[in-house]
Amino acid sequence: MTDSPAPDFLLAAYHDRVRVRVGGLLLRDGALLLAAHRGLLAGGAPFWSPPGGGWQFGETLREALVREFREETGLTVRVGRFLHLHEFSANRLQALELFFEVTAEDETAQPRLGLDPEHAADQQLITELAWLTPRQLLHLPPPQVHPVLGLILSPDDVFVPQVRLR
């Protein structure tokens, strides 16, 4: 891969404004599906975060997450419980992020790197998708891991299945 364009070039559309973002935590075989973003860290280091993106006018948060997940991963997901609210602020970026539990409609489907329609093919922010375990996340430099993932020590820390009482 060639050197990334300057972060200002990649992220200019998001600078100096507040965004509302949705993200989905998809767990499979003890690993989370994460997307590597470029342009956020110095030296071209990847920034790993759950798939997701901006909430658009006229859609619900859940509709936005289904759309964003399909765009970024090719997967169709069902949105479950709300899990976490995070205030993100770095490098002239500011966002209120809402994270939800998601499950794939087809549990055998494999994710594929998609395209963000807001960016040209040579200006995509997401460079890679990967299944990472909590142990693998702990071995990455902290700035490369979204803060919402920083306290995950086991798959149980993502979400615990609900127990139904009868």
* pLDDT value at 162 more than 60: no
- 25 vs 162 pLDDT, higher one: 25
> Mean pLDDT in the chain?
85
Length of the chain, please? 166
**Is the confidence at residue 5, as pLDDT, over 80?**
no
Q: Is the pLDDT of residue 142 over 50?
A: yes
Rounded to whole angstroms, how far apart are CA atoms 159 and 83?
8
Q: In the chain, what are the helix, strand and coil shares in percent, each to the nearest 5?
A: 25, 35, 40
The domain defined by 7-150 carries CATH number 3.90.79.10: yes
Q: Quote the pLDDT of residue 119.
A: 76
Confidence category of residue 130, pLDDT binned at 50, 70, 90: very high
pLDDT at position 73: 97
Cα separation, 166 vs 158, in Å, equals 25
